[in-house]
A and B are shown apart, each in its own frame.
Chain A
């Protein structure tokens, strides 16, 4: 096999680049988390940073809020996206317009999504106006409204991704299966429940994992729309870390500890969710 050298030549450059960006930073932040990094005199502080962070009420609140946010987003986005994929027209001009519109939403820069929605939820903005006419008093300066507004924004941004991935799955449904269901006189609901849903299960698994990971990472939209406020009532872990460190707090040690806790949390939770969704088999089993 002349292969060995060729394989190495093909794979190693990619591995080096990713390792430099993935392993090195984790080692660096691990190192920082036991020190007072970027200080004039760097001292070793042991587990102090971790104790400080884990006892910080803001950190605990941000942690719970991030998990809650991800859970609610999943519960709304996944069914909504599947419903859109199943019910939307798939052919014709209207089908094309819908697909283009929803794909466009996915690729808008996240900060622009934040900007768009800030212009909508703003005081005296259109959302307040419309809800006001329905007799609902909406204001972004109320913590509960602020939190649910951010969920609405996330649903707007990412339900289309669920739609697109599920649509891709639906379009690979084998023709004979659809025909035989039609001949047997299956109702749309039964056809969806017993043919479509099992067929697109891999797509649903994949997009659920992807959405879960990304919802835990949320940063740009809340940063633009609420800035973590009012007060700290919409502060997520990502915003907490940036605020405590480069964003102005300069508590680099505790923020490094928080970063590692955050990273570990995402990996562990994603791993668990993956095992649950695939029935313990993992993704790479073919």
Chain B
């Protein structure tokens, strides 16, 4: 009994160090000047510098940050609204082929971005939408809209159907019923959904890198371009600071939905 407890402690300690160290490493690297990253290995920054961060929110970085914010928020709004109505219909009504449609929607999460790079490039170049925000926003619905429908329908099944009937008897019209009854009840579900939608559109890089070049370049693509310099001339300090900045929305989002994250995984019909 004693031994098993000790083994458990050792296992957990090693695991936590393994998971925590990289987070510490990006944090400390972001404050190091590039020559310190390249030069002698140091476990603590010799001199705290903020220059890296200033570099990462101005110029090309700043534009990319703006693009990312525009693209993510529009995509999240689009997927949330379309997904909300569709999820409501899927959980409340029976219609021909509903199960097949639902499953087909979900299978789109399987689509590997790499296999879609060529056709997306072809389609959006053909439409004259290449290197625009619209192209990226629409593309991201490929994986985000199915996710939105799937998560929200999990939460909808928790709202008793009798509520719909009661509302109908009370003479509620569908729009006001949605606004005054359903949406307040769905708040946790909406929060969790926004969290996941935002995460996936914020972190995507491959499709964005194919669909944009200068005008609609996202933050992850900008980071990719800097890293593409391969070996020589990479500004590691700036890259590390940019990496840290790219984690901020995630940190904010986690703080915001921390109470609902676990609920999201259980209600979401998993």
Whether the pair A217, B88 counts as a contact (CB closer than 8 A) is no
Residue of A nearest to B112 (CB): A217
Interface string of A160-171 (1 = CB under 8 A from B): 100011011101
Tell me, yes or no, whether B233 is within 8 Å of chain A by CB.
no
Whether, in the assembled complex, A34 has its beta carbon less than 8 Å from a beta carbon of chain B, the answer is: no
Complexed CA–CA distance, A237 and B20 (Å): 30
Measured CB to CB, the nearest residue on chain A to B253 is A107
Of B85, B120, B223, B263, which one neighbours A10 at CB under 8 angstroms?
Answer: B85
Nearest A residue to B89 by beta-carbon distance? Answer: A10
Q: Closest chain B residue to A103 by CB distance?
A: B254
Give B250 Cβ to nearest chain A Cβ, in Å.
Answer: 4
A47, B115: Cα distance in complex, Å: 18
The proximity string for B residues 227-270 relative to A, scoring 1 for CB distances below 8 Å and 0 otherwise, is 10010000010011001001100110110001001110110001
* A169–B23 touching, CB < 8 Å: no
Residue numbers in B under 8 Å from A13 (CB-CB) = 82, 85-86
Binary contact readout A17-59 vs B (1 if CB under 8 angstroms, 0 otherwise): 1101110111011001000011000000000000000000000
CA distance A195 to B220 in the complex (A): 43
Query: Which A residues lie within 8 Å of B95 (CB)?
Result: 4, 7, 11
- Nearest-CB distance from B157 to chain A (Å)? 10
Shortest Cβ gap from A191 to chain B (Å): 13
Q: Tell me whether A272 is interfacial, beta carbon within 8 Å.
A: no
Please judge, given known A-B contacts A20-B138, A103-B261, A107-B250, whether A260 and B115 are in contact too, CB under 8 Å.
yes
Query: Does A29 contact B119, Cβ atoms closer than 8 Å?
Result: yes
Alpha-carbon distance between A245 and B223 when the two chains are bound, in angstroms: 21
Given contacts A17-B141, A87-B8, contact A241 B266 (CB under 8 A): no
B20 A25 Cβ-Cβ under 8 A: no
Chain A hits for B107, CB < 8 A: 267
One digit per residue, 1 when the CB lies within 8 angstroms of any chain A CB and 0 when it does not, for chain B 133-156 equals 000001101100110010000000
User: What size tier do the contact residues of chain A reach?
Assistant: 35 or more
- Whether the Cβ atoms of B227 and A224 lie closer than 8 Å is yes
A11 to B101, CA, bound (A): 10
Q: Give the residue of A37, A104, A116, A202 whose beta carbon is less than 8 angstroms from that of B270.
A: A202
- In the complex, A219 Cα to B117 Cα: how many Å? 12
CB pair A156 B22 closer than 8 Å:
yes
**Of all chain B residues, which has the CB nearest A110?**
B203
Return A206 CB to nearest CB of chain B, in Å. Answer: 5
Is the Cβ of A18 less than 8 Å from the Cβ of B108?
yes
Partner of A14 from the list B86, B120, B243 (CB cut-off 8 Å) is B86
A116, B254: Cβ atoms under 8 Å? no
Q: Which of A29, A124, A165, A267 contacts B41 (CB 8 A)?
A: A124
Q: CB-nearest residue of chain B relative to A14?
A: B86
Whether B227 and A107, one on each chain, are in contact in the complex, defined by CB atoms closer than 8 angstroms, is no
Q: How far is the CA of A107 from the CA of B263 in the complex (A)?
A: 17
Q: Which residues of B contact A266 (CB under 8 A)?
A: 110, 112
Q: Given A108-B247, A256-B118 in contact, is the A164-B262 Cβ separation under 8 Å?
A: yes
B35 close to chain A: CB less than 8 A: no
Q: Are A119 and B236 in contact (CB under 8 A)?
A: yes
- Chain B residues contacting A88 (CB-CB under 8 Å) are 12
> B253 to chain A: which residues have CB within 8 Å?
107
**Residue B199 lies at the interface, judged by CB distance under 8 Å to chain A:** yes
B82, B121, B205, B227: the one contacting A17 at CB < 8 Å is B82
Residues of A with C-beta under 8 A to B258: 100, 103
Q: B119 touches which one: A25, A103, A156 (CB < 8 A)?
A: A25
Q: Find out whether the CB atom of B119 lies under 8 angstroms from the CB atom of A115.
A: no
In Å, the complex CA distance between A283 and B16 comes to 33
Cβ B203 vs Cβ A107 within 8 A: yes
Complex contact A238–B223 (CB within 8 A): no
Residue of A37, A88, A108, A270 with highest tally of chain B CB at under 10 A: A108
Residue among B37, B40, B110, B266 with most chain A CB within 10 A? B110
Q: How far is the CA of A266 from the CA of B4 in the complex (A)?
A: 40
Which residues of A have CB within 8 Å of B149?
14
Could you mark each residue 121-149 of chain A with 1 if its beta carbon is under 8 Å from any beta carbon of chain B, else 0? 00011100100000000000000000000
Contact call A109/B118, Cβ cutoff below 8 A: no
- Mask, A199-242, CB within 8 Å of B = 1, is 00011001000000100110110011001000000000111011
Query: Could you show 20 A-B contacts with beta carbons less than 8 Å apart?
Result: A10-B86, A13-B82, A17-B78, A26-B119, A104-B251, A107-B250, A109-B202, A111-B246, A115-B26, A115-B240, A169-B265, A169-B270, A202-B270, A219-B114, A238-B206, A241-B114, A242-B206, A246-B121, A259-B118, A270-B110
Question: Which 3 A-B pairs give the minimum distances between C-beta atoms?
Answer: A238-B114, A168-B265, A25-B119
